[in-house]
Amino acid sequence: HSTSRRQRQMCKETDTKKFKAELAVDVAKAEEVYKELASKLDSAAREGTIHQNSANRKKAHFAKLLDNAKNSK
């Protein structure tokens, strides 16, 4: 693997911050960012960086935030 475990972790954290920032500004853009984030969480779980249940839990949490933002506007 060309990237280290820490680099993958930092990338995931950066994407999480990006998602939350977009959620406050533009829900449509946040939806695109969510798809990227979900993909990266799945990839991290597949590579063993995080547990699969943890990835699923985080995806569900972010999906709930996105759904609440959609319904509030």
Specify the pLDDT at position 3.
67
- Please answer whether residues 22 and 34 qualify as being in contact, where contact means their C-beta atoms are separated by less than 8 angstroms: no
- Please answer whether residues 26 and 66 qualify as being in contact, where contact means their C-beta atoms are separated by less than 8 angstroms: no
Rg over alpha carbons for the chain, rounded to the nearest Å, is 13
Residues 30-62 pLDDT 10s: 999 999 999 989 988 998 888 999 999 999 999
Distance CA 54, CA 61 (A): 11
Specify the pLDDT at position 49.
85
More confident residue, 10 or 57: 57
